[in-house]
Amino acid sequence: MSVRTWLHLNFEHFGFSSSNYAVATVDASNGLATGTGTGTAYISAYSGSVTSNSAILTVTSVPPPSSPTLTRLSPTFGRTGMNGDFKSLTIAGTGFGAGATVNFGSDVLIPSAITPTSITVTIPVAEFATVRTLSVSVTNPGTAAISQLAFYIINQGFVSLSFAVIRP
């Protein structure tokens, strides 16, 4: 028969410390360390004269999101008087992120689909009331739109040509 003895400690007073509060603070009630700046801090727990080994906490800054780059619109124009026939505008480029919005003239449009290289939006029918050129850009959260392309509202009709081969 073996006898096991367990040591039960009752820590009535305990605390946590950071070696660098400019880098990390520590919540005294639960020991949660929160980064407050960049660098390295050593986090320790203590009770009375007993101090734990330090845990190393390295805090780095996250680079700001990059601004998207636009390369192509599809289509590049629409016709005045369109009454719901215009389905969508696809914007090709790079750097499109979650939560990106499309600036279409003075309107801000919410995309129906976003990938890192493509965004699709539906343009409101009201935009096709007059002939004009509109600037199209994309903004990721926390960035400014730096790349833009032109979308043209035209009043000319479209011409469709068919060719037939006639053999003698």
> In angstroms, rounded to a whole number, what is the distance separating the alpha carbons of residues 56 and 18?
10
Nearest to 16 by CA among 50, 54, 53, 43: 43
Counting every residue written for the chain, the total comes to: 168
Nearest CA to 102 out of 142, 147, 139 is that of: 139
The structure tokens 């914007």 sit at: 91
Residue among 61, 76, 70, 75 at smallest CA distance from 150? 76
Q: Indicate yes or no: pTM above 0.85.
A: no
| pLDDT tens string 150-162 | 999 988 765 555 6
**Using one digit for the tens of pLDDT, what is the confidence trace for 62-111?**
777 778 999 999 999 888 877 665 678 999 999 999 899 999 988 999 99
Instruction: State the Cα–Cα distance between residues 14 and 2, nearest whole angstrom.
Output: 34
Average pLDDT over residues 10-33: 79
User: Residue 151's pLDDT is what?
Assistant: 95
What pLDDT, in 10s, does the model give residues 106-154?
A: 899 999 999 999 999 999 888 888 899 999 999 998 888 888 999 999 8
